[in-house]
Structure 1
Amino acid sequence: MVVVSVGSNMGFFKVSAIIVSALIVLTVGMSIAMLIIVTTQGGSPSVQEMCDDMPGMCIDPNNPNPTGAPTSKGTYAPPTATQSQQTSQPLTTSNPNTNNAPYQIHSSPGYDWIAKHYLTSVNFSADPCEDFFAYACGQWPSQHTPPQGSESDWTEYSLVSRTVSEAIQDAIESVDLSTASDGIVKTRHFYDTCLNSDDIEAAKGTKLGSLLHTGVPEDPSLPGFPNNTGRWALIDKDYADSASPSIESQIARLKSEFGIDTYFLAYALQYDLNSAETILWLTPTMLPLGMGMFTQGYYLKDKYQKVRDAYSQLQKDTGTLLARDSGFGVANLDVNDLKNLLQLEINIANLTYHYSFDIEMTKPSEHITRMRRSMVDPESNDDSGNNDLWDLPTIKTKIPNFNWDDYLKNLVSADLWQRISVNNEKLIWIDFPEYFNDVEKLIKATPARDVRNYNIWRLVKYSLPYMSTEYRTALGKFNNAMYGGMKATTAAQKNTCLSYIKGNYEMPNLSFATAEAMIRKGYFPVDAKKKATDIVATVKSGLLELIKNSAWMDDKTKAAALTKAGKMDAIVAYPEWVLNTTAQALYYNDLQTPKASFISLNLMLRGWAVRKQLSAIGIPVDRGEFIGTPVATDAWYSQSTNALTVPLGELQAPFFGMDFPAAVNYGGAGAVFGHEMSHGFDQTGRQFDAYGNETDWWSPASEKAFDEHCVCISDQFSNYCYNTTDAGEVCINGNNTINENIADLAGLKAAFTAYKAQDAANYRLAAAPMWNDDQLFFLSFASFWCGVESDAAIVNQVETDVHSTPKYRVIGTLRNVPEFAKTWQCGAKAYMNPSDRCTIW
């Protein structure tokens, strides 16, 4: 054991001791690292390779202060270990940043893996007290080359998602179909059909062209287009306008049969004022446009003209290809058709912009306040907000020029239509009636040819990722214009198919069977679910502790907040029924698997998912239901059930591991749990009570104090900016991102509180003993956001996303956490240690 004096004498003997210690660190540290690499890579690296791979381990004996030593500001010197062999004896350290407490070094597969992960991400030449993102993630880009097609946006999340996909690939391809569950058998059918690139390339766009222009599907079990409603006027020279069937019925069938939203979103949702009831929600606020969700700015702002031009070119290229493959020969597309197609989408973007951004994203609390006011004063015109459930006669009275009979009977099941049309049950929430009057006027004022072109384009656009290389290359060119930094190439077919069977939040589809395959293959042990559930419980305790200690909340409001946090449910990893073959067979019972092209199977599956989602309307709510996909690398909170969901796809290294230090699990997965819990107390979540009902449980004084905290955070993040090549200075929108910034900050503090309450052994990583446990906690949090983003990707995120960019999710959050500055011994003038912090709890 080497003991180094930490006294004030800076004479010859101390310098000698530091040099000797450094040499021992170098020799022993490299020995351990080489053993690890020999074991994992099958060969011993050279000394220079070791230094290159593990910066900070190599210390120049002639310069005892390594790179990153105290600057002129005197803010920080990175910790170095005094000894790195595995031992059961306590060691002391000479560095003031390692808290001088005795500690033990531990080596295990999990400990060694996470050590190597951090050592290949951390840039020791960066000062963590000035820029913790540069420190924690500085080496990450050089160690993780983005795959072709992902150059614009490649992050640790991308890597984890790819790892999950690789596990799914092995699990689904190796399954024994003779004994597999019904869900896995059906999933494998979709997957195998998707992988059949020879058939996809040979078919080109003929299958889609035939479906649209003959109306006849490949198989009787698949949906078609009766009465010529699929013919795309843009490429069909024989197209003629027809008033039958109505445009309302066509809009409804695009949704119910093919999963395509066109002018507003239709979704089964728990009712805000009675969370035990599921209703039909019709809204403009969450309508995805052709360019994606919340992309209205790209349609409307002058600075995105290049993106609009690329989008119009995509429409032209796609139309030219599909005209050829539909048997129409060489297309001579009408310039006015293309112009009007884009213009209608611009008009829709203009109509929805106010509701999507000014209401849904920017000021969610004001949205709810206006809706409450409309309930008290029916004559209020504040954004025409409505929070009442309406029956069909009321809807027809309020929005008289839209054919609601045609729309609803083509959207919902026959049983539900009976309840709506005959029983006059109040099952529909139209949150902004005036929008529906406006969009009805827009449709009526637009030539029927242009309306048809837009409707069919939406279906075609959704189909492009699953078509032949020519179509996907055209899509890649547009994506390059919108996101930048990528080549106009297509994703590997395997990746497309794996992403497909993983599903997404709105359409989990095949993901439940996919999760079963992963679990049975051993990629997610049952014990991991229990461990994660236990961590959730402790983080909840941490959140409760923070609420109890809050100084700005009065007793009555605090008691309600504690009740809400205490009753918050957690749905972790996967639903148990995925391992029950009977239950799973029931879930997938009505999903057909005909022999058909993948383009047809895709459209059928979208419609099946929509109908299954809408089937929840009017039936009792199951608060324990797993909403979304269990294999997603993501997590979410539901205000209507007061529950967070963390899928098994999120519970992966480096965020979570069975053999990771507690600090790593709490800084990673624990921060995720805390983040989602904290959404229950952000600007939107705080409007709902412990049972998910919209209720004002805040006193005026507490509400005022909360709003002041929010203004602080919003203003702070609005000052985080980038200088981009094409768009100039681009800054985080503090209003748009406020809820996520609140959740990041409050969630991390809850996780840290929970972590510090653990009675865990004070072990350090044998391969990286320079970091103490608290430092590992913050490294784990930062590791979420390591990655690379092009300027265009940054602009896109600022324009369309409710999350701050990765860099400022790290910097902006940690600057508001005093425990971070204490852990890293940041000086009073350090950037990461401001005097004017913002906080929630």
Structure 2
Amino acid sequence: FVTTMCPDKQRIWQVLRCLVCLVYFITEFAGAARIINTDYDFNTENAREILRLSKAAEMVNYMQPRMDPCDDFYRYACGNWQDINPARFSDGKTGLFNELKNAYNRRVVRWMRKPKRTSESDMDRKVKYFFESCMNKADLRKNYRQKLVSVLEEFGGMPALKGPLWEADKFDWLEVVAVILRKYGKQIILGADVFADLTNNEVNRLYLGQLDKLVTPRAAEYYVVLAVARQMEMHTVLGMSMQVASKTAMEIVDFERRLAEGKIDADRGFGMEDKTQLTLLEVMTDNYKPTINFTHYVNVWLGYPYVLPVYVYVESYINNLRRVIEETPKEIVANYIMWELLQDFRMEVNDSDDKHRNKCVDRTKRFFVKYLDHVIYQQLFTQNQKIFAELRMLWFELKNAFGELLKSEVNNWMSVVTRDKALEKLSAMSMEINSYEQENFEQQYDVLVISTDSYFDNVVNILELQGRSYRLRLLESPKLDVGEILSFTPAYAAEYNRVLIPVSFLQPHFLWDHAYPSTVKYSTMGFVIAHEMAHGFDDIARKYDARGNLNNWWDRTSTEEFSKRKECLRQQYSGYRYNSRKLPIINAQDENIADNVGLRIAYNAFQHWIRQHSDNSTTMQHERLPNINLSPQQLFFLSLGQVWCTDVNRNWREIIIATDVHPPEEVRVIGMLSNFDEFGKEFDCKPNARMIPKRKCVVY
């Protein structure tokens, strides 16, 4: 419709439109700052002020400020997140760490698409050539199905494809998985891991048994989704009829589910000392022959007789595996092995360009994750060295805060000897950024041949190199190798007493920036690091000593007192509800311990910083954000809560509950803040408020 306005009203309308545009610009600026090339100078006064405005606007956007923070702090801090960042089925869930991953991927894509220069290293070219070959849909379409089948034929073929031509009498499942492990370094059905010895981390040992990647059979919805997905993939990728694809998919998914029934899931809270037993290969072979000849399996894999001690890894898994193999027709076992073999070779050629690019980024990261982390680290270090200096300073502040906490009277339940050992371990604990500065990539990948026009051959060459490298690990000294698993979130490595920081964690404007209040630094980056630091003293890692060896230094009395505090958390968290039902009672409380202790460490470090700077009015004024009427302490809790703002697609909620040892994010926020007296004091909560339980759980 058409309307007219008087001049004054028109001017008012123009002003309102400008204000709307300004608000939109401010709220989008932080997001844009994370995406655009960070060569832009954010160190000017105007840029810093806009970053502060944008951070404040972003935080307000996610909040439901009318919600009483003493009633439901998660809804108060994150109530609007799901409307702004809804999770699609393909996403599973949205949250800060997903945003970090997406931003990291954008950096990787920009680097891989930069014009090639003569000054580039061979390693640069190999990674970029691989990505280019993956993006080359025309090449992927050439004889794609025939190439996949040729991989299968090398190992005897897939019964579902060959039909009556498949020779069951020649199939030996253990021989096949051993040969695949030798050639491609890929573990199927049987785990064969090389890690540092539990009690002597200066030598590597072989761990045989459980395949950790298998998903708990309690995740029933996961296996339903998996069966449907595999049916469609077998039909479209391998050309099976829908009838054959449906039957095959159902059989191999059921086989995988039955394999997983022997697993010890992480939520049972078992440490490695409960899941392993040092023995000899010949003893394992005697115990499980003729179904599982471990001696033959390892000798085929390595190519020579192996006589050193090995670890049985989860005996219940091996017992279950023997039973499942004996009860399952060979055709189903073979179909499962062949389908698993194909996963590194498969690349859907009919996806949209965006979806295909994202898959190529993920595939490139899987094969070259260390090198890409190294490249992005160099970029970030060049662009902003301050954040690395800040990180080192923050680490020492958090260690000091944890040390003071351990010495405080709240931890008088620990014996003097045990507390001294804890302080010794904390003092020895180190932090490392996964920069891979010491890696000799040119030497590692010297023999690798990569071309721009043959993705399939590139994958074969990469996997063969991985297979050779994996075999050699038993002859090498132990080396911390986290790879893609820990590319987006910090972690604590008990066997090295070290906190590992991924490069993606240091991208500017996400967790912290110099323009933001220091409050935000302690409540985001500080809390996440403190959480990992606290893992060194959870129920599993506390049994490792200062050098990272399994060597239980806890006396009986301190152990009993620790168990009481763990049980308090177990009962408390099982009382929370998610997705309209109570959370299951689980024995593992390591993540809840780390959350609750990490909060205390980070907050104490922040309060120490406040005391040091309280006389500086300019500094303290900087601790407030525009348009957010909260004290620095209240802002700490708001910022901490928003680290965990999340939306989970409803189709994935039950699967996540069954598979994730972490509680749902909203429970994490409510649980740890409910146990922290300072939270209630800062928000002036009444004693009967929901966030103020009568019984609080405190570990350290």
Q: Flag whether TM exceeds 0.5 (same fold).
A: yes
Asked if residue 530 in structure 1 is aligned to residue 389 in structure 2, the reply is yes
Kindly, what percent of the aligned residue pairs are identical?
Answer: 21
Q: Does the CA-based 8 Å contact 2:282-2:295 persist in structure 1?
A: no
Counterpart among 212, 225, 234 of residue 152 in structure 2: 212
Q: Residue 45 and residue 764 in structure 1: after superposition, are their counterparts in 2 closer, same or farther (change >3 A)?
A: farther
Deviation at 1:253, TM superposition (A): 2.7
Give distance in 1, aligned partners of 2:20 and 2:115.
45
Q: Encode CA deviations 1:689-739: one digit per residue, 9 max, x unaligned.
A: 111221221111111111111111111111111245xxxx3x333425511
Deviation at 1:151, TM superposition (A): 5.2
Instruction: Identify the residue that residue 16 of structure 1 maps to in structure 2.
Output: none
Instruction: Identify the residue that residue 137 of structure 1 maps to in structure 2.
Output: 78
- SS across alignment from 1:268: strand
Structure 1's unaligned 5+ residue stretches are 1-37, 56-104, 214-224, 372-384, 473-488, 504-508
Instruction: Identify the residue that residue 312 of structure 1 maps to in structure 2.
Output: 227
Instruction: Identify the residue that residue 818 of structure 1 maps to in structure 2.
Output: 677
Between 231-240 and 634-643, report the one with greater CA deviation. 231-240
Instruction: Identify the residue that residue 356 of structure 1 maps to in structure 2.
Output: 264
Deviation at 1:772, TM superposition (A): 2.3
Q: Does the CA-based 8 Å contact 1:634-1:650 persist in structure 2?
A: yes
- SS across alignment from 1:617: helix
Instruction: Identify the residue that residue 207 of structure 2 maps to in structure 1.
Output: 281
Asked if residue 584 in structure 1 is aligned to residue 465 in structure 2, the reply is no
- Matches for 1:446-595 after TM superposition, within 5 Å: 446-461=328-343, 463-464=345-346, 466-469=347-350, 492-503=355-366, 509-522=367-380, 525-549=384-408, 550-577=411-438, 583-594=440-451
Instruction: Identify the residue that residue 295 of structure 1 maps to in structure 2.
Output: 216
Give distance in 1, aligned partners of 2:584 and 2:461.
39
Counterpart among 740, 746, 768 of residue 591 in structure 2: 740
Q: Residue 235 and residue 629 in structure 1: after superposition, are their counterparts in 2 closer, same or farther (change >3 A)?
A: closer
Instruction: Identify the residue that residue 257 of structure 1 maps to in structure 2.
Output: 183
Give distance in 1, aligned partners of 2:628 and 2:345.
51
Asked if residue 409 in structure 1 is aligned to residue 265 in structure 2, the reply is no
Counterpart among 545, 556, 569 of residue 689 in structure 1: 545
Give distance in 2, aligned partners of 1:493 and 1:744.
37
Q: Encode CA deviations 1:305-329: one digit per residue, 9 max, x unaligned.
A: xx545543434333333443xxx8x
- SS across alignment from 1:174: coil
- SS across alignment from 2:311: strand
Q: Encode CA deviations 1:752-810: one digit per residue, 9 max, x unaligned.
A: 11122223431234523522222222222222211211233221111011111111111
Letter in 1 for 2:420: A
Deviation at 1:142, TM superposition (A): 2.9
Q: Residue 425 and residue 44 in structure 1: after superposition, are their counterparts in 2 closer, same or farther (change >3 A)?
A: farther
- SS across alignment from 2:492: strand
Q: Does the CA-based 8 Å contact 1:182-1:588 persist in structure 2?
A: no
Instruction: Identify the residue that residue 255 of structure 2 maps to in structure 1.
Output: 344
Deviation at 1:613, TM superposition (A): 4.4
Instruction: Identify the residue that residue 67 of structure 2 maps to in structure 1.
Output: 126
- SS across alignment from 2:203: strand
Letter in 1 for 2:437: E
- SS across alignment from 1:537: helix
TM-score (norm 1): 0.72
Q: Residue 445 and residue 823 in structure 1: after superposition, are their counterparts in 2 closer, same or farther (change >3 A)?
A: same
Asked if residue 796 in structure 1 is aligned to residue 651 in structure 2, the reply is no
- SS across alignment from 1:237: helix
Give distance in 2, aligned partners of 1:165 and 1:249.
39
- SS across alignment from 2:218: helix
Deviation at 1:561, TM superposition (A): 0.7
Q: Residue 604 and residue 777 in structure 1: after superposition, are their counterparts in 2 closer, same or farther (change >3 A)?
A: farther
Asked if residue 827 in structure 1 is aligned to residue 690 in structure 2, the reply is no
- SS across alignment from 1:254: helix
Instruction: Identify the residue that residue 57 of structure 2 maps to in structure 1.
Output: 116
Instruction: Identify the residue that residue 103 of structure 2 maps to in structure 1.
Output: 163
Q: Does the CA-based 8 Å contact 1:258-1:604 persist in structure 2?
A: no
- Matches for 1:72-151 after TM superposition, within 5 Å: 108=49, 110-144=51-85, 150=90
Counterpart among 395, 399, 403 of residue 288 in structure 2: 399
Q: Does the CA-based 8 Å contact 1:689-1:697 persist in structure 2?
A: yes
Give distance in 1, aligned partners of 2:94 and 2:81.
10
Asked if residue 425 in structure 1 is aligned to residue 308 in structure 2, the reply is yes
Give distance in 2, aligned partners of 1:677 and 1:522.
24
Q: Encode CA deviations 1:93-123: one digit per residue, 9 max, x unaligned.
A: xxxxxxxxxxxx9964543342232122222
Give distance in 2, aligned partners of 1:818 and 1:614.
53
- SS across alignment from 2:438: helix
Give distance in 2, aligned partners of 1:795 and 1:164.
29
Q: Residue 826 and residue 45 in structure 1: after superposition, are their counterparts in 2 closer, same or farther (change >3 A)?
A: farther
Q: Does the CA-based 8 Å contact 1:639-1:688 persist in structure 2?
A: yes
Deviation at 1:277, TM superposition (A): 1.7
Give distance in 2, aligned partners of 1:230 and 1:812.
53
Letter in 2 for 1:392: L
Q: Does the CA-based 8 Å contact 2:264-2:314 persist in structure 1?
A: no
Letter in 2 for 1:636: A
- Matches for 1:705-716 after TM superposition, within 5 Å: 705-716=561-572
Asked if residue 620 in structure 1 is aligned to residue 477 in structure 2, the reply is yes
Deviation at 1:635, TM superposition (A): 1.2
Q: Does the CA-based 8 Å contact 2:231-2:246 persist in structure 1?
A: no
Instruction: Identify the residue that residue 32 of structure 1 maps to in structure 2.
Output: none
Greater Cα radius of gyration, structure 1 or 2:
1
Counterpart among 739, 744, 749 of residue 600 in structure 2: 749
Q: Does the CA-based 8 Å contact 2:205-2:311 persist in structure 1?
A: yes
Deviation at 1:576, TM superposition (A): 2.2
**How many aligned residue pairs are there?**
656
Asked if residue 770 in structure 1 is aligned to residue 629 in structure 2, the reply is yes
Deviation at 1:515, TM superposition (A): 2.7
Give distance in 2, aligned partners of 1:107 and 1:593.
44
Q: Does the CA-based 8 Å contact 1:713-1:838 persist in structure 2?
A: yes
Give distance in 2, aligned partners of 1:259 and 1:185.
24
Q: Over the residues paired in the alignment, what is the CA RMSD in angstroms? A: 3.2
Asked if residue 641 in structure 1 is aligned to residue 530 in structure 2, the reply is no
Give distance in 2, aligned partners of 1:607 and 1:661.
50
Deviation at 1:46, TM superposition (A): 4.5
Q: Does the CA-based 8 Å contact 2:63-2:77 persist in structure 1?
A: yes
Deviation at 1:645, TM superposition (A): 0.2
Q: Does the CA-based 8 Å contact 1:716-1:734 persist in structure 2?
A: no
- SS across alignment from 1:200: helix
Q: Does the CA-based 8 Å contact 1:635-1:645 persist in structure 2?
A: yes
Give distance in 2, aligned partners of 1:831 and 1:614.
55
More helix by share: 2
Q: Residue 835 and residue 682 in structure 1: after superposition, are their counterparts in 2 closer, same or farther (change >3 A)?
A: same
Letter in 1 for 2:360: C
